[in-house]
Structure 1
Amino acid sequence: MKRLFFYILLTFLCYGYSVSKHTDSLKQRLLKSDADTTKVKLLAKLGFEYAFIDPDSSRLFCHQAIDLAEDIDFTRGSADAYNSLAISYDIEGNHEVSITYFLTALDLYNKIDNREGLARIYNNCGMVYQSLGDTLRSLEFHNQSLALEKELGDPTGIGYSMTQIASIHLQMEHYDSALVYYRSALELLEEIGDVQGLSYVHWGMGELYMYTNNTEKALEHSRQAYELFVQDENRKGMSETSIIMGRTYLKQKDYAKAEEQLLFALGLCKELEAKNVMLECLLSLSEMYKQQSKFDEALAYYEQYTALKDTVLKSEMTANIKEIESKYNFEKQQQQIALLNKENNFQTRLRNIFIVVAITISCLLVMLYWAYLSKARTMEVLKTKNKEIEKKNSIIAIEKQNALAAAQAKTDFLSVMSHEIRTPMNVVIGSIYLLMEDNPKPAQLENLNMLKFSAENLLTLLNDILDLNKLESGKLELESIPFDFNLLIKGISTGYSAEADKKGIKFLLDIDEQIPSQLIGDPGRLSQILNNLISNGIKFTEEGSVSFSIKVVGKSHKKVKLKFVVEDTGIGIPEEKQDSIFNNFTQANSNTTRKYGGSGLGLAITKQILKLFGSEISVKSKEGKGSKFSFKLSFKNDHVLEKA
């Protein structure tokens, strides 16, 4: 589904422009032109042409067009140039920078009420947000584009927008809605005879019918798409539709035809070096042979799949690092423009520290994240192979030993990297405090506070990842030491009471007076659990209160059993999400992450620490009403300290 969207993106990204193959002709026209407005148009068009072959040259032309357009107050020219500039970044996969320029172009088109330009930009923004995974925002922009194209009476634009909206609904598994838009687009594009557009509509409908198990319809549309791709000499489209036909035949248990289509697609993928398409093809072949109990062939294709997957992941990691560098270069450029007339030695030093630290930390985090995914993938491959090839004991034993060694190496790497990253982070935070004591200017102090906030949050995330790694590898051990229970609870409640006051909510504390003051246990991990639960309660509560209570539920001469309850009147948790929130990197929904932030590790770590205590956490929640978390822990009495 994502590849279908990508090919449509390349075909329709700048709908409204006619892609010229004669850049030399454009340059000659530019040299002969005397009118400034004509120069702006030609520069913007050159920027668009070069976006697909030389992004750096494209941006040079676009910036020249923008500067000239601003000098002569030519708003339409500026908007066209910003649109081409955005495309140059989007083609490279730098979607965050791309959407910034698309939205700038959108404001300019709005200013002059250029309906055709607005339709094009709404369409482009929708595609970029779909690339970023924000399907709801993408759907909103495409609907706006469709409304404008209907107003303009442009059948081609209407057909393309309907195809985009259908692909989004297909991605969201809204199959009925997707089918409605695909059928409308099909009817319209058939009327105007748009072969290229029809090929993608038939492709999408073939994929939709495959997902909904209507195999006859899936084959019918896939064959039509294939014939159109052959007519258009689109070998990538031919390979994709062959995979859809192969997977559809696999659903029909027609293994001979499935094998024929998938092997043909695999050959095309190898010729085109289309690695992502090849991954799907290899996995489908492995599944086909497994269904026929041909385990040797299934294993061979699965091993090709995992080897290629590792190669693709490494390539993506390299691309991510380049994208990060590009983003920070972009931010650096914006900072230099804003501070050009106020630059001094202190500002230069601060900016350089920020850029170096940000790029270094980002690269390290990408490596850390890749290591974590690689570890998880290795363990999953190990489990799958153990289930599928039980009869091949000697082969399994060797592969299991190798996989465990790799998993242990990655676990050790994750642990070492977490420790190593924390050391420079502490240095960074210390440097920030020193700079803040150097009497910075108000504007500089704001930047330092922002950097301090980001660095401290990043250090917290690193600590969470380190704890999670220790818990998963079984290396985290609980302490059993005397501690002052009342002092610990007072320290926690005092801090959160002040935080609640800042938000305008109440923080209620109810501590049972029968609890002994001196106990034996692990005060550090108890504090970590309570901090996670109380901070979540305050973070997700906009009005009302957060209450924290501790009650004695069992007591003997040597031990005391306590029940801890944290309850809030916040946003609550949907019933279907109340189990999954304790999984790693999981929150109630994506909107929660965007609005409130957080890594999704706190509750997962809390649950695993309580498991070490021999306890478990329970949750009761109603969406929009609030949540209640509770657990029970036993502690030894420290009678010696009590008497003292």
Structure 2
Amino acid sequence: MKTNCNHIKPNTFIVAIFSFLMLFAMYSQDTAEFPKDLDYYFSLARKYKNQNKIDIALETIKKAADIAEKNEDEKGQIDCFHQYALLYLKINNIERSKFYWERTKVLLNNIAYPFGSSQNAYLEAIYLYLENNNFQAEEKLAYIRQLSNDRNLINHVVLAEANINFQKTNYKKAATNYNALIINSDIYEKEYLTTLGHLGLAKVNYIINPKESPENATEALKLAKKNGFINELLEANTLLSKGYEKIGDFNSSLLYNRNLLKIKDSIYNLNKLKLNTRTADDIHIETLETENRRIEDRLKEAVDSKSRSESTTIVAFAILAIISLLAISLYRNNQIKVRTNTLLQKTNEELEVAKDDAVKAMESKTNFLSTVSHELRTPLYAVTGLTNLLLDENPNESQKDHLKSLKFSGDYLLNFINDILQVNKIDAQKLETLQIEFSLKKTLHDVIDSLQQSAKSNNTSLRLNFDDKVSYLLMSDPIKISQILINLVGNAIKFTKNGEVTLTVKQLKTIDDIATIYFEVKDTGIGISEELQESIFDSFEQGSIQINREYGGTGLGLTIVKSLLGLFGSTIRLESTKGKGSIFSFELDLKRKDTLVDDMAFEITPAEFVFEGLHLLIVEDNKINQVITKKMLSKKEMTSDIANNGMEAIELAKTNRYDAILMDIHMPGISGVEATVEIRKFNKEIPIIALTAISLDDSVENFFEAGCNDIVTKPFKPEFFYQKIGENIFSKKN
């Protein structure tokens, strides 16, 4: 029996044709050329972005997003959304940039993706910077450094820090950041970041050193021309025109101003030939609208045609069905956006709570470590004090060996506690750099002298190469500079046996009264493998368990160096080959004091004091420490009274005459600081030396403000203890 096509229902035709169209679309996709991977499109988009071809970059990311969606690759989708957000930042469309950034926050809530989280935090830091919330932006950038070691992302963090410092008019720190970009080793954007580094230095020097600004701008111009960085080409010519005008070279200024006009004209003509920059959604929606208009035109032609047929009607129904599906899809997307915004608001609230919890946890950790380190110092004072006393009492040879071992263990434990306290203070932002006059040459010799014995025990020569161009007197923080160098040189000695350690210091340049000093510590030791160089500055990290067992140490030295240099706005650099040694280097900007007298004594010889007959007051609540301190005084033929707390100290100071008071700070009842304040009300002359196990919350400035003349930190070396007593008593008498 034949089938009569005229009797088939229209609905059956609609289903059949729609199915055919869907199958054809699927077949077309399957037979198309297999697309490139995500990294290929990201690399291509990065290139177009840096050349300011934003529309092409957006279309490229759209291709990557299609791949990620097809493969249900959530991490790939997150990366694509981040790229969209960065591209919108490039054209200053902050609102659309934040839209994609917020979508990534929702996706990151469902999966663990550290790189995605660090990129998300980076975008948030940029938004904060654009809103002039510089402090919060810097906090976010510091968090990224802890979260990620991706070189490209860290280079962009350095760029953001440079821009923030420039915005804060902290030009020295900004220059340090821009210099770091110039020597970057980025595998994706090396030349682009170098260009931005030169442009940044040109802007900084335009303000602080106009003669050097054109040199940096010229380097940026060369790179921008070579790589087609349009925006940077404009900025370089602008800086050259302004820079030469500022230093009075008007011919050169006019030349670059003309170049600027030519470039702007060529860009204008080019823009007339290409589409305006569009977002990925704009491109997608515009394509749908164009297709809809084309279908509607064809439908109108079919309806107006005199030769209507049943097949035309069926096609019309199919087209209308497709349009309806598209409309439904757009409606669903809008609903998803509404739900996403609601979810984002909830997620933001949860993140705020999590942030507060993290801050509380950090404070608890800091307080715990501070308390532990402080409490350990008190019994350690007894251990080291009694050991020193026993060594002075002529023990027999077998006892002497045991006591020396005990002294070594006590010193090692003390160094460990000091390192923990130092890291804790840095983490809690309790440290600031001082600005006092000092001799860098003397500081360096003190460092070398203090480490010579360690070098000799390893059969290693320790040398100092000092540039005589360095100013004799400088303004900075000699204590923290000494700490940095002692850690670096001591570390080099520890890992170098039968070799050589060299400390090199030279002056790179001077701008007005600021000298840039280069420091380098080079050794011929075991070296550090390339894969361990990234983590060697982390806390408690020495490279491997074997190294820790063989050489000992806490693994905190390089962490302290990195953190202390951060206070100076500087960074540590490392070059090393395993088995051939290491080179650690950094730069500091120090204020010169050449106008001061340069003939002051280089070395200060410790004075010899006669302590016989002196009478001191010991203020100490710990019974063992009382005995040790009293015994140390009696060895130098000094007598003493003991006050068990602050109130007793005040009463004894009122009723007796003392040559000096040794004041413990942490005591039950009133503290040593409060007791000092009370004593100063009726006796302003007596020397008061704070004898304390200093903790995280202690402020040295508070001790001096209360009326203390000096500070000796427990545990201490006997010779240092006697020297401080003599200086404060006899200098007062003189």
What TM-score bracket applies, with the shorter chain setting the length? 0.3 to 0.5
| Higher RCO structure (Cα 8 Å, ≥6 apart) | 2
Q: Which has the higher helix share?
A: 1
> TM-score w.r.t. structure 2 length?
0.34
> TM-score w.r.t. structure 1 length?
0.39
